[in-house]
Copies of this chain bind each other. A is one copy, B any other.
């Protein structure tokens, strides 16, 4: 995790009435803010405007006058209310022409899906006149060595491997406007694959950050344990919370990667010393990836027996490429009959201890491991919402024996409690591989 440093000022302008209506949570602004901060750009403003040509025209020009970079998302779709391409090019006095290559790529996109291309999609092949099409990413990285003045007063089109709306970058008088699609599933990969490379010539130094991921500790307890380190400037240390986990981000600025790493090293060591027992990884995407990696290296297999989490653990594990080598399967036993019939929980346990008991969690894990024949099995059972006392038990079974952990939920929030049960089970496994 290392990026370069620039002194350029930026604004983000997200276009879409759905954002102004509150229908959509603006994750694009956050994604881009973090990416730009990591790259050392100074972001002065984020803004959202609706699909209104006059307001977009005015707000774009205001941003264009006061900042070096204006990054827009949304409004590149095929429908009539998608106005970003036309409005921005209109404001900058740039003519749009149809690109035969893009049109063909788009037709292929629909053809592969055995669909007819709707006529309205044709608009998405309109690009700034004389724009350079970057159809292959590898082709583009050759331009990396170019200085920013060489690519001034030009236009570039970025491929969209996940949709039909291409990205567009326009450089003019030392400034730059970048138009990206609105759906995060298209925008984020386009930013990572094309825009990062495109921004390279503006970057003057290097900025390195490392992300320390913890489990089993809350954000404020974590922040308290490293309170004195949070005042540091270079490296800076910032705590944040994400999907029930507490994270720390350490960031240093320097002329070279090596210098930045030298600044970071002692701080990272100190954090590890204080939080060691809660850290499951540095610069790793998530706990499930780390778990699968550890199990893979150990040559071990896993299965899950899920009640309260309803398949959520299996879902997260199978979101990771290569999961099929480790996770052989899962039994979601949402009724007593399945707990008894498929997982072998005893009738006595169900009657005397109940389906959310520690004993039931233990027998679920043992039963699943036996039935599916894996090295490890994790189980979950509990009440995530409703009138019962909200609680859960998670268990881990392996050759080494069975462990169980109890959870009490403070809130009547079904999804949050399911997530807590998932994380507790995954963390129990992590501590025992």
Contacts and interface: CB of A to CB of B under 8 A. Distances in A.
Interface of A: 17-27, 29-37, 43-50, 52, 55, 59, 77-81, 109, 112-115, 118-121, 161-162, 183, 185, 218-221, 223-224, 227, 230-231, 238-242, 249, 304, 306, 309-315, 317-319, 321, 323-324, 327-335, 337-338, 342, 371-373, 385-386, 408, 410-411, 413-416, 418
A114 B418 CA distance: 19
A238 B17 contact: yes
A317 B328 contact: no
A238 to B, nearest CB: 6
Q: What is the copy number of this chain in the assembly? A: 2
A55 B46 CA distance: 12
A79 B230 contact: yes
Question: Looking at chain A's contact residues, is the secondary structure mostly helix, strand, loop, or mixed?
Answer: mixed
A48 B45 CA distance: 6
A335 B319 CA distance: 16
Contacts of A306: 311, 314
Contacts of A337: 328, 373
Contact of A324 (B34, B219, B328, B335): B335
Given A47-B46, A242-B24, A333 B342 contact: no
Contact of A220 (B29, B79, B317): B79
Contact of A338 (B119, B220, B329): B329
A321 B385 contact: yes
Given A26-B26, A121-B220, A327-B334, A415 B310 contact: no
Given A318-B334, A334-B324, A119 B312 contact: no
Contacts of A218: 115, 118
B310 A323 contact: yes
A25 B32 CA distance: 11
A48 B49 contact: no
B120 A230 contact: no
B342 A329 contact: yes
Contacts of A20: 33, 37, 43-46
Given A47-B48, A48-B46, A311-B313, A321 B414 contact: yes
A231 B17 CA distance: 15
A62 to B, nearest CB: 8
A310 B319 contact: yes
Given A220-B120, A314-B310, A385-B321, A49 B44 contact: yes
B120 A223 contact: yes
A52 B236 CA distance: 14
8 contacts: A18-B240, A20-B45, A21-B33, A44-B49, A45-B59, A162-B413, A321-B414, A324-B335
Contact of A23 (B238, B324, B335): B238
A244 B121 CA distance: 18
Contact of A22 (B35, B49, B313): B35
B21 A37 contact: yes
Nearest to A314: B311
A333 B333 CA distance: 14
Contacts of A418: 318-319
Contacts of A342: 329, 331, 342, 371-372
A154 B305 CA distance: 53
Nearest to A320: B414
B334 A332 contact: no
A41 to B, nearest CB: 10
B318 A329 contact: no
